[in-house]
Amino acid sequence: MDDLEFRKRLYSDPASQDQDMIDAIKQDSKRASLADELNAFDDEILTAMKVEVPENLASQLILRQSLHAHQQTKKKSRIHLAMAASVAFAVGITVNFLTASPVYLNVADYSLAHYHHEAANFEKTGDVQYSLANFNSEMNDLNVSFSDKLGKLISIDDCYFDGMDSMHLVFEGKYDNVTVFIVPKSEHLKFTQQFNDETVQGVARQYQQGGVIIMGDKKETLELWQKKIDETIEWSI
């Protein structure tokens, strides 16, 4: 190794542990003293470079990180809360949709389904004592009233007619009970004037403010019921 090369190597890394550098220093006292000088100089450089570190820098770094992490956690929990809320909302919408959304496209199908579903709940005969005023007050929500009693009442109840708040009336008929649904104006159900299946028949009439569906035994003369209702029904809006 010539002097120039030695100098270059020494200046670029005075603390070099390369074997040829160690050997070169050992073999030549001039080189050894230059190496000592350079190493001492490096110590000076190191001391000079060690500028004062701001007090508490380490604790500040730790503090800032933990505040940051804390905020992240808060943000995350907010996100989780928001996610939970979204899921709950979606579930709510879905349940609402499944229970309240129209499944049937026409009055006939739905009426038959509803009728058969509840048929077993009603007696064939009955005569609930009621006043016309009481009877009409039950209909308030539908904005409908009757000017006369329709017949012997077996049952009167609110019902959920394909997602619409409706009235479910059951009267005594000649052969079997007669069911009357009074429903609000519906956008999605198509009114069929007459319908039937194996056991029951039905008639439906659409008024401007709502509809009336009458169902009963196949032998029953539903037209009479329809006529009676037609004559006595009063829509208030």
Partner 1 sequence: MASKQVRYEALVNALHADLYRYAYWLVHDKHVAEDLVQETFLRAWRALDSLKDQKAAKSWLITILRRENARRFERKQFEMSEYDEGATVDNWSTSTEQQLEDHWLREKIAKLPAEYREPLVLQVIGGFSGEEIAGMLDLNKNTVMTRLFRARNQLRDAVEQDKAIKGRYNG
C-beta closer to partner 1: residue 66 or 236: 66
By CB under 8 A, which span of 21-29, 55-63, 171-179, 194-202 interacts with partner 1?
55-63
Whole-number minimum distance, CB 62 to partner 1, in Å?
6
Task: Give the DSSP H/E element, type plus range, for residue 7.
Answer: helix 3-12
User: Alpha-carbon distance 173 to 150, whole Å?
Assistant: 11
235 lies in the site for partner 1, by CB under 8 A: no
Q: How many CA atoms lie within 13 A of 74 on its CB side?
A: 6
Residue 33 Cβ, how far from partner 1 at the closest point, in Å?
14
Of the pair 14, 163, the CB lying nearest partner 1 is at 14
Contact call for residue 130 and partner 1 (CB under 8 A): no
Rounded Cα–Cα distance for residues 207 and 222 (Å): 17
Determine if 48 is a binding residue for partner 1 (CB under 8 A).
yes
Q: Which of 27, 33, 39, 65 is in the footprint of partner 1 by CB under 8 A?
A: 65
Binding segment toward partner 1, per CB under 8 A, in 12-20, 133-141, 170-178, 204-212: 12-20
| Least distance to partner 1, CB of residue 50, Å | 6
- Please say which residue, 59 or 208, places its beta carbon nearer to partner 1: 59
The yes or no reply on residue 133 touching partner 1 (CB under 8 A) is no
Both tokens of 167, joined, read 């009235």
Rounded Cα–Cα distance for residues 152 and 173 (Å)? 8
Residue with tokens 């039937």: 196
Q: Does residue 64 belong to the site contacting partner 1 (CB under 8 A)?
A: yes
Query: Distance between CA 187 and CA 171 in Å, rounded?
Result: 28
Answer yes or no whether residue 68 interacts with partner 1 by CB under 8 A. yes
d(CA 161, CA 54): 77
Interaction of residue 50 with partner 1, rule CB under 8 A: yes
Packing angle of the helix pair 19-27, 3-12 (nearest 10 deg): 120
Per CB under 8 A, 77 contacts partner 1: no
145, 234 Cβ separation under 8 angstroms: yes
Going by C-alpha positions, the residue among 158, 193, 160, 152 that lies closest to residue 176 is 152
Binding interface with partner 1 (CB under 8 A): 8-9, 11-14, 38, 41-42, 44-51, 53-54, 57-58, 60-62, 64-66, 68-69
